[in-house]
């Protein structure tokens, strides 16, 4: 396994633990199709802003971007380019159809950026809900 793959796997594990700590329920990891991959599929409770009543759940499709701290000029989340977004959207639609979710299912695509300092063994996590 390459160092880049190990870093990506570690970032995905950190992201999954972060999501669980925020009340998300992990449904799937590394959902793959020939045209795209979803790193994490999760459910989060949805609360109405008007009534504060629980109105069901939203599916969150999460793209995790990991990198070492201060190694690259770009932030990890800036590496989600146009073609990656299109592949993600196609994979999301496949997941919804394959798992027979109704058309009115609430869903969003989030990005989680994980910057890992291998020396201190600490990570900085940035969550961008409904990123696009």
Q: How far apart are CA 108 and CA 98, in angstroms?
A: 17
DSSP sequence for 16-59: HHHHHHTT-EEEEEEEEETTEEEEEEEEEEEE-TTT--EEEEEE
pLDDT tens over the chain, length 132 residues:
788 888 899 999 999 999 999 999 999 999 999 999 999 999 987 665 555 555 568 999 999 999 887 665 667 677 777 888 899 999 999 999 999 999 889 999 999 999 998 888 899 999 999 988
The predicted structure's pLDDT at residue 107: 94
For 102, the token pair is 């109704």
What domains can be seen in the chain, in order of their start residue? 3-128 (3.40.1350.10)
Dihedral over alpha carbons 113, 72, 33, 26 (to 10 degrees): -20
Write out pLDDT tens, residues 44-64: 876 655 555 555 689 999 999
The predicted structure's pLDDT at residue 74: 65
End-to-end CA distance of the chain: 31
Q: How far apart are CA 13 and CA 49, in angstroms?
A: 31
Instruction: Select from 96, 116, 98, 118 the least CA-distant residue to 106.
Output: 96
The predicted structure's pLDDT at residue 121: 82
The predicted structure's pLDDT at residue 67: 87
pTM, whole model, 2 decimals?
A: 0.85
């Amino acid at each position: 396994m390459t160092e880049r793959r190990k870093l990506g796997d570690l970032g995905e594990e950190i992201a999954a633990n972060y999501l669980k700590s925020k009340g998300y329920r992990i449904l799937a990891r590394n959902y793959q199709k020939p045209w795209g991959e979803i790193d994490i599929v999760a459910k989060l409770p949805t609360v109405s802003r008007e009534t504060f009543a629980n109105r069901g759940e939203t599916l969150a499709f999460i793209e995790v971007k990991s990198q070492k701290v201060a190694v690259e000029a770009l932030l990890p989340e800036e590496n989600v380019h146009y073609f990656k977004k299109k592949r993600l959207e196609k994979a999301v639609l496949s997941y919804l159809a394959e798992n027979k979710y109704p058309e009115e299912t609430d869903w969003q695509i989030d990005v989680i950026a994980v910057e890992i300092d291998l020396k201190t063994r600490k990570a900085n996590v940035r969550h961008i809900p409904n990123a696009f």
